[in-house]
Amino acid sequence: MSLRKTIRGADHGSRRTFLAGMAQSLLGVGAAATFGPSGLARALNGPVPTGSLFDELQDPQDPKPIVLGPATAKHVIYLFMSGGMSHIDTLDPKPGAATNGPNTPIDTRADGVLLGSYLPKLAQQMDKCCIVSSMSSTQGAHAQASYLMRTSYELRGTIEHPSTGAWVHRMAGRLNETLPGHVIIGGGADIPAAGFFPASYQPVPLGTAEDGLQNCELPRGVSEKRFNRRLEMLGKLDRQFAETHRQLSVGSYSQAYRDAVKLMRSSDLVAFDIDQEPDSLREAYGENRFGAGCLLARRLVEHGVRYVEVFSGGWDTHSDNFDRLADLTPAIDQGLSALLADLDARGLLQDTLVVLASEFGRTPDIDEDQGRNHYPKAFSTLLAGGGVRGGQRYGKTDKEGREVVSDPVSIPDFNATIAHACGLPTDHILYSPSGRPFRVGNKGMPVTEIFA
């Protein structure tokens, strides 16, 4: 089932679609087998008898959680500015240069680190942030560049690569067995997700944060007792088939049904409900899609979800760049600032890497339509928390923002840095079903200098 269908299922489907969607997408193969017992097996340095039916059905090269050190980041919140965020107007302003445009860069709480005038609230959080100004991509079209940014690999016809979120989910394992390991809020259906990884690593897509997770209550007229009877019957019907066809996908389905029911009945379900938050906090995050997405991301992380992505669209400012940024940036400025402050105050920022990224930057030259166009050669991202030392700018572009002049960071390097923050070995090889070797961050070198 494609991600598109899964989204449809999660948003509007019937109970049956919901459960089926679950089977493919969220709560796949024995979470217990990927986290608890085998994680412990590492501690024991030996096999642990778990008695799980699915142990023998496990993909042989598949997961034990693969974590090397005491990972600083247990969670990642990845904010993606889809369309190409203008680096000069936001994270890498160029005071005095013609390319800077009409706005005057502003001082921040970090000495010597300037921001574009659109981000006054973020300026007050810069002591927590590290801007990476020396990003450079090899792709200049949206689909190819977004794909590269999210997977570290180039878009090809023959294979679909897993996103960094899927890598983290698979290598680090789930933290909360009841909840999905990877959630995407407000993302399109065409983004790379689990790629060639088993279906159980598909992220859970949520259309909007306000709606949360749909289809979690029993259908009208079905009592708890009746529902249990139906489940029992389903189990009976399935048993013979499952016993005859002892395969990964069969096991994965039955496990997913059980997990879905477990989630429906779990108190952790409230993680998806931002209405539980006080109005004052919802205002602080901004009452718009992005702000609500950030708030939901915080709730999910708090309940143990590993990787949450929040999408923001509309950054492809080919014309009227400055007017459009004036419209786009307030929600980002507000939501990201609130997220950083809130995570910090709850003691979660230490364990959570927050990433602000885009597929590329925009041209330093401003065209006759007051627009900026695609510019992969030099752009910026932002990292905070998860052990990153705040208040710094890593790497530099020249005084007009055209070229990277020091400490270049490639897209693979950037994703390897995210993996590194999570304590994952970037040299660990996982194989695609056809036996080809792949690594998280595609052989990129983690930028270890930015960590405290």
Partner 1 sequence: MTMRATTTTAIPLLAALLAPLTAQRKVHFERQVLPILEKRCIECHRATYVDENGRRRRPKGRVMFDTRRNIEKSKRGKLFVAGDPDASLVIESITLPADDEDRMPPPKKGRPLSDREIQLIRSWIEQGADYGDWTGDGSPPPKKPAKSAGKSTRGGSPKAGRRRGPNPLVALAKGLRPAKPDRLAPFAREGSRFAVRSVGGQSPLLTVTCCGHTDEVDDRAVADLLAIKEHIYELDLARSNVGDDACAVIAQMPRLVKLDLRETAVGNAGVTQLGKLQELRTLNLFGTKVGDYAMQAIAGLKKLERLYVWQTDVSARAVTRLREKLPNLRIVFAPDLPEPMETGGNRR
Q: By CB under 8 A, what part of segment 174-213 binds partner 1? A: 175-179
Are the C-beta atoms of 411 and 164 separated by less than 8 Å? no
Angle, helix 3-12 to helix 15-25, in steps of 10 degrees: 140
Q: With contacts defined by CB under 8 A, name the span among 94-102, 209-217, 239-247, 331-339 that binds partner 1.
A: 331-339
Q: By CB under 8 A, what part of segment 111-170 binds partner 1? A: 121, 124-125
Per-residue contact string for residues 67-106; x = within reach of partner 1 by CB under 8 A: xxxxx-----------------------------------
As a 3-state breakdown, the chain gives helix, strand, coil percent values, each rounded to 5, of 40, 15, 45
Tokens 């994680």, residue? 39
* Smallest separation (angstroms) from partner 1 to the CB of 68: 5
**Beta-bridge partner residues of 80:** 311, 357
* Smallest separation (angstroms) from partner 1 to the CB of 313: 7
**Measured CA angle at 202 (ends 385, 44), to 5 deg:** 70
* Smallest separation (angstroms) from partner 1 to the CB of 267: 5
Question: CB-wise, 367 or 427, nearer to partner 1?
Answer: 427
Question: CB-wise, 46 or 112, nearer to partner 1?
Answer: 46
> In angstroms, rounded to a whole number, what is the distance separating the alpha carbons of residues 170 and 34?
9
> In angstroms, rounded to a whole number, what is the distance separating the alpha carbons of residues 298 and 152?
26
Task: Using CB under 8 A, pick the residue from 13, 386, 423, 441 that binds partner 1.
Answer: 423
> In angstroms, rounded to a whole number, what is the distance separating the alpha carbons of residues 143 and 150?
11
Are the C-beta atoms of 29 and 200 separated by less than 8 Å? yes
* Smallest separation (angstroms) from partner 1 to the CB of 171: 12
Q: What is the CA radius of gyration of the chain?
A: 22
Q: By CB under 8 A, what part of segment 30-59 binds partner 1? A: 32, 35-37, 39-46, 48-52
* Smallest separation (angstroms) from partner 1 to the CB of 347: 4
Q: By CB under 8 A, what part of segment 271-290 binds partner 1? A: 281, 283-284, 286-290
Residue 267 interacting with partner 1 (CB under 8 A): yes
Q: What are phi and psi of 175, to 5 degrees?
A: -95, -40
Question: CB-wise, 324 or 372, nearer to partner 1?
Answer: 324
Count Cβ atoms within 10 A of the Cβ of residue 217 and give its class: 0-12 exposed, 13-18 middle, 19 or more buried.
exposed
Residue 251 interacting with partner 1 (CB under 8 A): no
* Smallest separation (angstroms) from partner 1 to the CB of 114: 19
Question: CB-wise, 13 or 330, nearer to partner 1?
Answer: 330
Q: By CB under 8 A, what part of segment 285-324 binds partner 1? A: 286-290, 302-304, 312-314
Residue 391 interacting with partner 1 (CB under 8 A): no
Q: How many helices (H) and strands (E) would you count in the chain?
A: 13, 15
